[in-house]
Amino acid sequence: MRLKGNILDIKNKRDSKNQEIELYINKISYVTYKKDGKYFQPFDFEDEPDTPLVISGDCLARIQNNLLEEGEYEFQVYDKRGDDYVLNETKLLTITMMYDEVEQQSILSELTYEVTLPNEEFKQLKAERHKAKSAKKGKRK
């Protein structure tokens, strides 16, 4: 995970002026909900892409959430389609920032990028990624 620019400049409305802000994401958490008895339970699968996923600040809008701890922020994620930005309800970005007294700046300390998928897509993605990792391990030997 890496951050370029000041992510705290992003407000609660998406803004094209934030293009210079970039987040490099090394781990994606895919989530689905399955019925377990009476209740739906979350199941997740963490994937580490070969190259980091880059999200620019113009695709983010901060969510006002009073329940978060100090230094924690949640963001809505927009997909860019041509010149249009479309809110993607299935994606959520959560970050934790810490303030470094010596450097006098905020530092990204934790990042969670979560994508919610339907159950069938979740199973298919998990199987594909498992096959890809198995194939990679086979080539290394």
What are the pLDDT digits (tens) for 61-81? Answer: 999 988 888 889 999 999 999
The larger pLDDT score, comparing residue 53 to residue 99, is at: 53
Q: Looking at the predicted structure, is the pLDDT value of residue 140 above 70?
A: no
The larger pLDDT score, comparing residue 40 to residue 127, is at: 127
Number of domains into which the chain is organized: 1
pLDDT (0 to 100) of residue 93: 95
Give the domain range for residue 53.
2-140
Helix, strand and coil in the chain, % to nearest 5 = 25, 50, 25
